Amino acid sequence: MPKISAIFWDVGGVLLTNAWDREQRQGTLKQFALDEVEFENRHEMLVSSLERGKISLQQYLERAIFYRPRSFTPDAFKEYMFSLSQPDKETLQLAAELARSGKYRMSTINNESKELNLFRIQTFGLREIFSLFVSSCFVGLRKPEEGIYRLALEMTQRPPEECCFVDDRPLNLDSASRLGMHVIQMENAEQLRRDLQKLGATT
**Helix or strand or coil: residue 128?**
helix
Cα–Cα distance between 173 and 114 in angstroms, integer? 23
| CA distance readout (Å), 93 to 70, 74, 119 | 41, 34, 19
The one-letter code for the residue type at 83 is S
Task: Please say whether the beta carbons of 15 and 21 come within 8 A.
Answer: no
Tell me the sheet residues that pair with 44. none
Helix (H) or strand (E) holding 25: helix 22-31
Share of the chain above pLDDT 70, in %: 100
Task: Kindly report, residue by residue over 81-132, the tens digit of the pLDDT.
Answer: 999 999 999 999 999 999 999 999 999 999 999 999 999 999 999 999 999 9
Q: Specify the pLDDT at position 46.
A: 98
Cα–Cα distance between 113 and 61 in angstroms, integer? 12
**SS (HEC) of 167-179:** ECCHHHHHHHHHC
Q: Specify the pLDDT at position 1.
A: 74
Task: Kindly report, residue by residue over 121-155, the tens digit of the pLDDT.
Answer: 999 999 999 999 999 999 999 999 999 999 999 99
| Model confidence at 2: pLDDT above 90 | no
Average pLDDT over residues 17-24: 96
Q: Which of 87, 63, 84, 103 is nearest to 200 (CA)?
A: 103
Question: What does the mean pLDDT of the chain come to?
Answer: 97
Q: Specify the pLDDT at position 83.
A: 97
| Model confidence at 68: pLDDT above 80 | yes
| Model confidence at 168: pLDDT above 80 | yes
pTM (predicted TM-score): 0.96
Domains of the chain: 6-18+86-198 (3.40.50.1000), 22-83 (1.10.150.240)
